[in-house]
Amino acid sequence: MARCVLCGRSAGLFYRLHKACYAEHQALSEQLYKTLSDQIERQSSDDLASVLQQSLLRHNFLVEPAKRALVRALEKYAEQQLSSDSPSSLLQAWSDLLLVLALPDKLFLTPNFVSQQTALLGLKSLSQDQIPALNIPADRFTEELAEGEELLYYFPQTSLLHTQEQSAQWSLARQLFRGLLGNRTHSAVQAKQQATIELWVSNQCLYLRGEKQHSIDIKFEHIFSLTPQSNGVMIQSRLADAKPVILQDVNGRLLYGFLKQVVQG
């Protein structure tokens, strides 16, 4: 007998879902949406997150399907009631709530939903030629800053990506081989390296922090160009030995606009 994907109990031969469970799941999502709409600026992010999570426990759903009911409510709220033109107080409360809930990205239909939504307040500030509000977690950054340097913004999770040319082989046969295969094959000989990092922005430098080999400092005075990428930004330093650095899996509009304003300012 197959089991219901929502409650985990037997659903009968050839079935994977109880109709009653589906109806209850839909109703739960609507209830969560209504609670969210009514209470988002009336309660603290911690209290509202607790109310929403307690609502999930009143139903006999499996853990992930229960969270998906909450995720659908969050997605509906974002689609129907939010934009970068929404009041700053609402955008701040929304961002705080998403960070407190800390739901996995894989549950959302839209890739990088949380990073996109938490960027709305910053986008609003940039549209008004203002630096986004300080969001540095207390005691999170422990390194010593230079004289006159201050931290401005924190991106908690970013993908660091760059291409690294493999060791050149300058034999005549190698050159002929690459010439015959053309540029498409040439690009395949580059190896991508990717790591998840934290990104800190000060008024003088970018601090990319991950494992030791992926921790990089990029001073603004060394940045030659900023190029928008799909869901990110490519940074090229003018230093002779510098390879392009690509930061992905963040809100590309916010990161690009923020860095452009800070670097040029």
> For position 107, what pLDDT does the model report?
92
User: In b/e form, how buried is each residue of 230-259, taking b as 16+ CB within 10 angstroms?
Assistant: ebbbbbebeeeebeebbbbbbbbbbbbbbb
Buried b (16+ CB within 10 A) or exposed e, 117-133: bbbbbbbbbbeeeebbe
pLDDT of residue 237: 86
Q: What distance in Å separates the CA atoms of residue 135 and residue 155, rounded to the nearest whole number?
A: 9
Tell the burial category of 260 from Cβ atoms under 10 Å away from its Cβ (0-12, 13-18, 19+).
Answer: middle
Q: Would you say the pTM of this structure is higher than 0.75?
A: no
Residue type, 220: F
Tell me the pLDDT tens digit for each residue of 162-198.
Answer: 655 544 444 445 444 444 544 444 444 343 667 888 8
If one compares 144 and 231, the residue with the highest pLDDT of the two is 144
Look up residue 261 and give its DSSP letter.
H
Helical segments of 2-112, H only: 19-39, 45-57, 63-81, 88-101
Given this model, what pLDDT does residue 183 score? 47
Instruction: Quote the CA–CA distance of 60 and 9 in Å, as a whole number.
Output: 10
Q: Which residues contact 102 (CB under 8 A, 6 or more apart)?
A: none
Residue 248 clears pLDDT 70, i.e. is over it: yes
Token pair listed for 161: 């990506």
Least Cα distance to 157 among 200, 122, 191, 203 occurs for 200
The 205-209 sheet, strands edge to edge = 216-219, 205-209, 190-202, 151-165, 245-248, 232-237, 223-229
Q: Residues 110, 46, 152, CA angle at the centre, nearest 5°?
A: 70
